[in-house]
Every structure is written in C-alpha cells, then in structure tokens.
Amino acid sequence: MAAIVVLFCTLIFSSLSFFGNALSSNYYDKTCPNAEEAITNAVKNAINNDQTVPAALLRMHFHDCFIRGCDASVLLKSVGKNTAEKDGPPNISLHAFYVIDNAKKAVEDLCPGVVSCADILALAARDAVALSGGPTWDVPKGRLDGRVSKATETRSLPAPTFNISQLQQSFSQRGLSMKDLVALSGGHTLGFSHCSSFQSRIHNFNATFDVDPTMHPAFAASLKSICPLHNKAKNAGATMDPSTAIFDNTYFKLLLQGRSLFSSDQSLLTTTKTKALVSKFASSQEAFADAFVKSMIKMSSLNGGQEVRLDCKVVN
Ligand code: HEM
Ligand SMILES: *[C@@H]1O[C@H](CO)[C@@H](O)[C@H](O)[C@H]1NC(C)=O
Ligand SMILES: *[C@@H]1O[C@H](CO)[C@@H](O)[C@H](O)[C@H]1NC(C)=O
Ligand SMILES: *[C@@H]1O[C@H](CO)[C@@H](O)[C@H](O)[C@H]1NC(C)=O
C-alpha cells in the first residue's frame, strides 16, 4: 500500500516538474541572501519617480506567466527577424521594463549570474502590490529564464472581450481555477486602460444597443466623452479603479455597480459561482487579500526556463 502511495506521489511530482524547477522560499538564502532587499529598493526608487510603476510590474508578471510559464520571456527584446512578445499586439500597455533592468543590475553586483530574471519579476510584482498598500507574501523562487519569445504567442493571452467560458478556458489551460480567475482579476484595482480595450462596449455595442446595457449609464457616458467614436488621442483612456491608487477590493465594488471597463470583468457576474466570489471579495478586503495571494503564488509557479540570464533583455 505504502509503495503504491509513494509511486503515485512520484508520478504526480514528476508531472509537476514538467512546469520546471521545484521552487522554494529559501532558494537564494546561501547564494544571494540580499537579493530580495536589492530588488525591493529598485522597485521603491522607481515608484518614487513614477506612480504608474506598480501596475506595470503586476501586469508584466501576469503576461510573463501566461506565455511559456514565468520564464521572463516577456523581457526579451526582438532580435533579427524574431519579433519578441514585448513588441506584440498588447505592447501598448506594457511598460517600466527599466525597473527590472535596474533590479537586475543591483542583484548582479551582489552575486553575479545567480538570480534569474523570472524570479526578479515575480518578486518585483509582489513588491508592487505590497508597496501599493496590498498584501505581501513569501515568493517561492528558483525559476529559470527561457530562451524563446515570440510576438505571435501573445495571441494566447485572454482578451478584454472574452466571456466567462473563454476566460475559464484560458485559465484552466494554465492550471488555474475560476476562483483564481476572480481573485486575480482583482489586479485591476491598479492601473490604466487605453480606450481601445473597452471601445466596443461604448460604441455600436450590438444591433439593439449602442452601449453595453450592463454598464452603469453615467459611467458609460463618462467613458464616451473620454473615448469618442473616432478617437484620435492614442494615449486616451481610463484608470481602472479611479477611487484610489491603493491595492484594495474596490475593483469588486465597482464591478457590482456596472463600473468595470472590460467585458471580461463584467462576465465575472454571469455565473452563480463567480458572482458569489465577486460579492464575497467586495464585502471582505481580507477574503480578497487571502485569495489573491494564494492565486498569485499559483500563477507565478508556472515555470519553463533553462538558464539564469545575465542581461534580462537577451538570452545568454
Ligand atoms: C482575466 C483576464 C484579463 C484580461 C482580459 C485583462 C485585460 C487587461 C487589459 C485590456 C488591460 C488594459 C490594457 C491597456 O489598454 O492599456 C489590462 C490592464 C491591467 N491588467 Fe489585466 N487582464 C486580465 C487579467 C489580469 C491579471 C491576472 C492581472 C494581475 C494579477 C492583471 C493586471 C492588470 C494591471 C495591473 C493592468 C494595468 C496596467 C497598467 O496600468 O500599466 N490583469 N488588463
Ligand atoms: C506594437 O505592436 C504592433 C503590432 O500589433 C506594432 O505595429 C507596433 O510597432 C508595436 N509597438 C511597439 C512599441 O513595439
Ligand atoms: C463565449 O464566446 C464563445 C465564442 O464567441 C461562444 O462560442 C460561447 O458560446 C460564449 N459563451 C458564453 C457563455 O456566452
Ligand atoms: C445585445 O446585447 C444585449 C445584452 O448583452 C442582449 O440582451 C441582446 O440580445 C443583444 N442584441 C443583439 C441583437 O445581439
């Protein structure tokens, strides 16, 4: 019996290692004990000069993990004929790459060739949340950096037009549940969206309605004034949670009022199960924080790299 259990566990663990290295909290304790502090300082310095940095780092980590696992493929630059992820379609919203480069420089000065870019990004995303007033957590480490980044693969990211079944599929392909989907969508408490990401909800929505009828009318009207039909202002858009720059559960409160920007946000209200989670997170900051942390650790444990990159922008 015991032998069967052992065999079974071995099978489970060997299939998990398909996702890459086993991660651990104390991974750099001997090889680079001050890495986390150096990364936190780089993130802090950047935020002091630019309030948009936390949202940028959180989204960058999410994109990284959703394409080839969290392997820093999002940081690679285009080389020769290969167009990298960062130059692919949703590139308009990715920014603040310099923060990771600064953190990497600081860490390389301490312990050259030891700390992966994928770990630096996972830690920087955690710091971004914590420094914005959100929860903090211990990040399991030991990710390796990948050697491939293709712009065409950004097509596999979930789109803001997705309905609940499309979102469920996108998340379950990465081993993430409906609860992870709802909790992680709370990341939209930070940051900014360009008009193009919600334009189809506020103009010519469908044959019956010009504006998505699930949107609060005054909210839709304010978005229409920022984002007219023939919008020429490339950088126009809206803050996703305009009430605060703090990482909190306001996103879920706004969602219940019809004040979310994307169809993908709104679609969280279209199944009983996900709607119940939205209500729970809207009424309890603590329930949201707990769930968000668990889901971040789960998402950020997807891995698939091969090396510790020396420069986060190029493979070794
Ligand atoms: C559920 C599927 C998701 C969809 C469809 C989605 C879609 C989007 C879109 C369209 C934008 C705006 C891009 C722009 O116009 O500039 C955005 C921004 C953002 N997303 Fe998501 N997202 C999803 C999940 C997540 C997750 C899991 C996180 C992190 C936990 C996240 C964090 C962010 C942040 C922080 C921003 C703001 C970025 C900035 O201000 O620079 N999103 N998202
Ligand atoms: C972003 O991607 C588009 C293709 O969707 C491309 O035309 C554009 O040059 C890219 N922009 C940057 C800054 O890489
Ligand atoms: C979601 O969209 C897909 C593709 O358009 C469609 O096949 C599916 O029926 C939709 N699901 C729901 C629940 O609306
Ligand atoms: C337009 O959208 C609304 C709300 O989603 C829906 O009830 C209605 O059936 C749609 N109408 C058409 C013609 O697609």
**Tens-place pLDDT, residues 140-179:** 999 999 999 999 999 999 999 999 999 999 999 999 999 9
Q: How confident is the model at residue 92 (pLDDT cuts 50, 70, 90)?
A: low
Closest CA to 122 of 267, 316, 299, 252: 299
Q: How confident is the model at residue 233 (pLDDT cuts 50, 70, 90)?
A: confident
For 32, the domain range is 2-157
The pLDDT tens digits for 98-116 are: 999 999 999 999 999 999 9
Q: What does the alpha-carbon distance between residue 119 and residue 106 come to, in Å, rounded to a whole number?
A: 14
The pLDDT tens digits for 50-86 are: 999 999 999 999 999 999 999 999 999 999 999 999 9
15 domain residue, yes or no: yes
Please, which residues have CB within 8 angstroms of residue 260's CB and are 6 or more apart in sequence? 188, 240, 251, 254, 266
- Which residue's structure tokens are 């990401």? 197
Q: Quick check: 10 pLDDT over 90? A: no
Which one of 157, 178, 209 terminates a domain?
A: 157
- Domains: count for the chain: 2
Average pLDDT, the chain: 92
CATH number of residue 204's parent domain:
1.10.420.10
Residue 101 has a pLDDT of 98
User: What is the CB neighbour count within 10 angstroms for residue 213?
Assistant: 12
302 domain residue, yes or no: no
Is the C-beta atom of 187 inside 6 A of ligand 1? Answer: yes
Mean pLDDT of 263-275: 98
User: What is the CB neighbour count within 10 angstroms for residue 78?
Assistant: 15
**Residues 79, 271: contact at Cβ < 8 Å?**
no
Same domain assignment for residues 133 and 206: no
Residue 3 has a pLDDT of 44
Is the C-beta atom of 93 inside 6 A of ligand 1? Answer: yes
| Cα 209 to ligand 4 centroid, rounded to whole Å | 7
Q: What does the alpha-carbon distance between residue 159 and residue 32 come to, in Å, rounded to a whole number?
A: 38
Q: Which residues are annotated as a binding site?
A: 64, 69, 71, 73, 85, 158, 188-189, 241, 244, 248
Q: How confident is the model at residue 20 (pLDDT cuts 50, 70, 90)?
A: low
Query: Which residues are bridge partners to 192 per DSSP?
Result: 239
| Cα 211 to ligand 4 centroid, rounded to whole Å | 10
User: Catalytic amino acids?
Assistant: 63
Q: Quick check: 123 pLDDT over 70? A: yes
Over 154-209, what HEC string results?
HHHCCCCCCCHHHHHHHHHCCCCCHHHHHHHHHHHHCCEEEHHHCHHHHCCCCCCC
| Cα 169 to ligand 3 centroid, rounded to whole Å | 11
Same domain assignment for residues 193 and 141: no
